[in-house]
A and B are shown apart, each in its own frame.
Chain A
Amino acid sequence: NAGVTQTPKFQVLKTGQSMTLQCAQDMNHEYMSWYRQDPGMGLRLIHYSVGAGITDQGEVPNGYNVSRSTTEDFPLRLLSAAPSQTSVYFCASSSGTTGGYTFGSGTRLTVV
């Protein structure tokens, strides 16, 4: 039982490049979310999903795309990386019953 797995753990991108942050969970959770964490800003919701095929925007969605083709996977795509997207990204999942989200260990992204 791996929980929530995020890859890669570290990534450096050049401005304008695109990439996909991977997130997979093995707990059969319906709810999944992506957050970014910046110093002094706390965790902010980027996109979330309430089930396979259903996604919606969070607080800071611009510059990011998501899709949810399976219950297990919820990838986050950066379309054209910008220095403002330098951050630590966390994926999380929840069954919705106990309310608590299980977080992955994060992806530290630097855009130069």
Chain B
Amino acid sequence: EDQVTQSPEALRLQEGESSSLNCSYTVSGLRGLFWYRQDPGKGPEFLFTLYSAGEEKEKERLKATLTKKESFLHITAPKPEDSATYLCAVSGGAQKLVFGQGTRLTINP
């Protein structure tokens, strides 16, 4: 059974304080690992897809990395507008996604 565990559940940072979110996964035949951002009352917004160990993707202050067992979402010099819940998901095939419970990130000005 495919499983995704995200840590920490919640993270509070000061503006400019860099940190990382963790996503540990088990899947039989990884087709892709996905990161999403979700703002309160809205649907998840797609950020990245990673396909193989060693792959990295960047977007503004966010950088996602992938190993055979986990993925990290690095946030560099975050701003208050980066506050959101970040979701990790894996696909073992047929475009079926299994999501983690998310990390609620708060950036204080």
Interface membership of B96, Cβ < 8 A: yes
Interface membership of B99, Cβ < 8 A: yes
A-B contact count (CB 8 A): 63
- For A94, the chain B residues whose CB sits under 8 A away are 95
Contact yes or no, B95 A50, CB < 8 A:
yes
Min C-beta distance of B39 to chain A, whole Å: 11
In whole angstroms, how far apart are the Cα atoms of A59 and B36 in the complex? 20
- Chain B interface, number of residues (Cβ within 8 angstroms): 24
- Contact segment of B13-21, B43-51, B64-72, B73-81: B43-51
Contact yes or no, B95 A40, CB < 8 A:
no
Evaluate whether A33 and B100 lie within 8 angstroms (CB atoms) in the complex, with A43-B44, A99-B49, A105-B42 already known: no
62-106 of chain A: CB within 8 A of chain B: 90, 92, 94, 96, 98-106
- Residue from A33, A40, A42, A102 in contact with B96 in the complex, judged by beta carbons closer than 8 Å: A33
List B residues at the A interface (Cβ < 8 Å): 31-32, 34, 36, 41-46, 49, 51, 87, 89, 91, 94-102
